[in-house]
Chains A and B, each alone.
Chain A
Amino acid sequence: MSGTVPEPAVSESAPAASLEAHLRTLRDAGRKLLVPYVTGGLGDDWLAAVEAAAAAGADAIEVGIPFSDPMIDGPVIQEASVRALASGATPHSILTALAGADVGGTPLTVMTYYNLIARAGLRRMASSLAEAGISGAILPDLPVDELDPWREEAEAAGVETVLLAAPTTPEDRLRRIVARSQGFLYAVGVMGVTGERASLAASALTIARRCKELTDLPVIVGIGISTPDQAAEVCQVADGVAVGSAVVHRLLDGDGPDGVAKLVSSFRDALDTTP
């Protein structure tokens, strides 16, 4: 843990920089954090899209490993998952590609469902992630109550596990989640599945505020953050935003890595000009 002892410098050859240390450093320097999401295996140029997002100012990137039954995902990411799986994407193919990603030190995380991890074997998947240079895992169907077996293996492999906090999470439970989340705290901005929304839900600001009061971890709001204006608005309180469907939407529309770069830049500009 951090404290008065400074974090050791991370050498270039280290398997993966600490996600949390990286994000804390940026946040403490006054930067609002931007974490875009790309569905792994979507089209031929998804890896180029990941690299483009990094170059355009992402502070960390979530890569989705597609699952056949994505319970918390709305139509856009469902469609991306279907297309990626139909073209033969597997956890192995995605991790292999990510191991060679040129992202200039931007930490990579995976977002996926627990069955893909359980099927591979917790230890095996944890070490596969570490070997591919992945520093964090976000598993939306693995709540804090069921966390222990995975957490033990992930920690041994050096992979940080990001937990989610929801608008419905009561106070005592929120404290438990905050105490155990690593990397950052993923604050769910709206009750619902992933997807774009016309306006920022009031619940996004409320959950961000509740989380900020309880923790010094970077608090990043995701689900329902669709535009640079919404991102800037929620970052009045939160430390950053995760943007998924808006990015994947561009890829589904065929806008490719350039489209992703353009979108990520527009979020970056909005966050950098947030007073």
Chain B
Amino acid sequence: MTTLGELMREPSASGRFGEYGGRFVPESLVPACEELDRAFRSAWSDPSFRSELDHLLRSYGGRPTPVTECRRLSERLGVRLLLKREDLNHTGSHKLNNVIGQALLARRMGKRRLVAETGAGQHGVATATAAALFGMECDVYMGAVDVERQELNVFRMELLGASVHPVQSGSRTLKDAINEALRNWVATVETTHYCIGSVMGPHPYPYIVRELQRVVGDEARRQCREILKSDPDIVVACVGGGSNAAGTFAGFVDSGARLVGVEAAGGAAVQHGVPGIVHGMRSKFLQDEDGQILEAESISAGLDYPGIGPEHAQLADAGRAEYMEANDDEVLAAFRLLAETEGIIPALEPAHGLAWIVREAGKSIPKGSAVLLTLSGRGDKDVALVRERSR
């Protein structure tokens, strides 16, 4: 049994977070995963790597992002609501934190090409951005359904010099884009780094991405202490694969805060999933009785994933984090609410976190609680979709 003090540290040598994680990939990819593991450990303990990353996140990415205290919305909800503003990060989401780190790693390994999957397009845009910054080639796989509902992000990636490949297989969403990115990586592994967008995939990806995103939680903890003079009572983040939640929770796992991840009701892998092995990792997945993976369904392409990062599965089993869900209608209402009361248009993904807060304020969130929500991205990409749904 994992004790709470052991959570969100290094995974075991085989890449396990408790019983989850591991490396279930074709033999062709195992040496690349091993190389990446060595490269990351060497880079992460190398002060010059850390300072170059830090410099880029500041001078190029715009870090640190602020924590904003919501005055009007707090009053309405009867809680003290703070937002960690990853929407103000360059490219409009937390995704850049991970991608800058992985692009630096790719360069360190001598790889000149990045391949990535994307759901909502935020990770694809971030990867295309990093590729442009470092002068690398970039190919992004995106489910054909998502290409249609996020066409502006497709154009952004193309402007940045990336090739976007619509994926027609399976449910034509994020999980299929991951399959296709992995297939491409198998054929190109010697020159290409697979820049995975969330805390998922084979070891060491879940660990690398969590470490690269922990800047969100570490900054937020310091900022909350300045504003609140203490830690928040509740820390909330949306969860698809779970990278912004993992980065946020990493900063608070040893605090007294209640940690809450909010999944899309149509893709709630913690609530309704069972253990399985897909995309290189053992975790929880929505699947049928034979083990065929089910298609997640959500208004938000970024949460449209039938699994969850392995460390979240561990946090859920250990009881250190709770995983809730929000449905499309609650999410649309929360999206409008934040726009109208605070002048912030959120991405649909973190609007799930807000939807849960709105539903639970005064119930499981006691009146007067200090609640931190990681606002993982801005909503420009979703405006057309919300307009469509509102008609």
Contact = CB atoms under 8 A, between A and B. Distances in A.
Given A69-B175, A71-B279, A143 B291 contact: no
Contacts of B285: 115
Interface stretch (B19-27, B91-99, B134-142, B261-269): B19-27
Interface stretch (A5-13, A162-170, A244-252, A253-261): A162-170
A193 B186 contact: yes
A119 B189 contact: no
Given A69-B170, A146-B23, A188 B175 contact: no
Contact of B292 (A67, A166, A193): A67
A91 interface: yes
B27 A192 contact: no
Contact of B26 (A69, A82, A166, A173): A166
Interface string B204-223: 00000000000000000000
B274 to A, nearest CB: 8
A199 to B, nearest CB: 16
Contacts of A119: 274, 276, 287, 289-291
A141 B274 CA distance: 19
A140 B26 contact: yes
B386 interface: no
Using C-beta atoms within 8 Å of the partner chain, give the interface range for chain B: 35 or more
Contacts of B280: 141
Given A68-B170, A74-B183, A114 B24 contact: yes
A69 B290 CA distance: 13
A167 B32 CA distance: 12
Interface string A182-221: 0000001001110000000000000000000000000000
Contacts of A188: 26-28
A91 B278 CA distance: 17
B182 interface: yes
A145 B30 contact: yes
B31 A191 contact: no
Given A191-B187, A193-B183, A142 B24 contact: yes
B276 A141 contact: no
Interface residues of A, number: 42
Nearest to A65: B290
Interface in A74-128: 74, 78, 82, 85, 90-92, 113-120
B23 A169 contact: no
Contacts of B282: 118
Contacts of B176: 69
A193 B187 contact: yes
A177 interface: yes
B293 A72 contact: no
B6 interface: no
B26 A71 contact: yes
Contacts of A85: 292
B290 A90 contact: yes
B163 interface: no
B169 interface: yes
Interface in A143-191: 143-146, 163-170, 173, 177, 188, 191
A165 B275 CA distance: 28
B45 interface: no
A114 B22 CA distance: 13
B10 interface: no
A118 to B, nearest CB: 5
A91 B290 contact: yes
The winner among A69, A85, A118, A193 for most chain B CB atoms within 10 A is A69
B360 interface: no
B27 A191 contact: no
Contacts of B182: 71
B51 to A, nearest CB: 33
Contact of B31 (A164, A168, A193): A168
Contact of A72 (B26, B274, B276): B26
B291 A167 contact: no
Contacts of B175: 69
Contacts of B291: 67, 91, 115-120
Most buried by A among B31, B189, B292: B292
A143 B290 contact: no
Contacts of B278: 69, 115
A177 B27 contact: yes
B297 to A, nearest CB: 15
B28 A166 contact: yes
Given A69-B175, A143-B23, 5 more contacts: A69-B170, A115-B291, A117-B291, A120-B290, A188-B27
19 contacts: A68-B292, A69-B170, A69-B176, A69-B278, A115-B287, A115-B293, A118-B282, A119-B289, A119-B291, A120-B290, A141-B26, A141-B280, A142-B24, A165-B27, A166-B31, A168-B28, A168-B30, A168-B32, A192-B28
Q: Which 7 residue pairs are nearest across A and B when measured between Cβ atoms? A: A119-B291, A192-B187, A166-B28, A68-B292, A166-B27, A116-B291, A164-B27
